[in-house]
């Protein structure tokens, strides 16, 4: 790396990127990622190992991106989210939401937050299910090919 890239590399390494750590239910251990750096992820048998591995993955990610002259996203600052946003909805939907909130004896705000939280959780769950299905499809395809090769070998023997 040239000295300009090295300096930029060190600046990015020092930035406070969010690191997400989650247990790996399939293999045990831990899965770790930096959401602001697309596809920058790793894993480890322990939390400590996973944290070491993500820093190594971050170094590799930054090295490749900077050496290609691509831009590196800066960390998102959580304080930019106030917890408030304006939402315009059709009058009929507004009425329906107000009526349902009243039936549940909660404020419109509480009801809207509950619906958004359920929707976000469902979206996340759907993504996890889709990924698992894709992983299973890869495994099924590999097994089908293995069975096919085994049959071919048996036919050749006969």
Whether 73 is in a domain gets the answer no
Same domain, 53 and 87: no
Identify the top-confidence range among 23-32, 80-89, 97-106: 97-106
Whether 74 is in a domain gets the answer no
Whether 122 is in a domain gets the answer yes
Binning pLDDT at 50, 70 and 90, where does residue 79 land? low
Structural domain for 124, as ranges: 83-157
Burial of 81 (0-12, 13-18, 19+ CB in 10 A): exposed
Mean pLDDT along residues 29-34: 93
Same domain, 101 and 151: yes
Whether 75 is in a domain gets the answer no
Could you give the C-alpha distances from 119 to 88, 108, 116, 125, 152, in angstroms and in order? 18, 16, 5, 10, 49
Same domain, 92 and 28: no
Mean pLDDT of the residues in the chain? 90
Mean pLDDT along residues 113-139: 88
Whether 72 is in a domain gets the answer no
Same domain, 151 and 104: yes
Same domain, 23 and 48: yes
Same domain, 96 and 147: yes
Same domain, 136 and 108: yes
Q: Which residue has the higher pLDDT, 156 or 31?
A: 31
Q: Which residue has the higher pLDDT, 30 or 158?
A: 30
Binning pLDDT at 50, 70 and 90, where does residue 155 land? confident
pLDDT digits (tens, 9 = 90+) for 67-78: 999 999 999 876
Whether 50 is in a domain gets the answer yes
- According to the model, what pLDDT value does residue 15 have? 93
Whether 153 is in a domain gets the answer yes
Same domain, 87 and 150: yes
What pTM value is reported for the model? 0.49
Cα(80)–Cα(125) distance, integer angstroms? 26
Domain count of the chain? 2
Same domain, 136 and 107: yes
Binning pLDDT at 50, 70 and 90, where does residue 1 land? low
């Amino acid at each position: 790396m040239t000295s300009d890239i090295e300096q930029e590399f060190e600046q990015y390494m020092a930035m406070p990127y969010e690191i997400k750590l989650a247990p790996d239910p399939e293999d045990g251990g831990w899965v770790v990622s930096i959401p602001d750096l697309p596809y920058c992820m790793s894993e480890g048998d322990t939390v400590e190992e996973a944290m070491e591995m993500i820093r190594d993955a971050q170094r590799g990610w930054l090295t490749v991106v900077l050496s290609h002259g691509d831009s590196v996203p800066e960390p998102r600052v959580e304080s930019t989210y106030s917890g408030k946003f304006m939402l315009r909805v059709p009058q009929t939907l507004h009425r329906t939401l107000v009526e349902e909130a009243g039936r549940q004896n909660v404020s419109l705000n509480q009801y809207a937050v509950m619906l958004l939280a359920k929707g976000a959780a469902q979206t996340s769950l759907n993504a996890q299910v889709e990924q698992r299905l894709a992983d299973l499809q890869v495994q099924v395809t590999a097994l089908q090919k293995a069975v096919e090769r085994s049959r071919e070998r048996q036919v050749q023997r006969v």
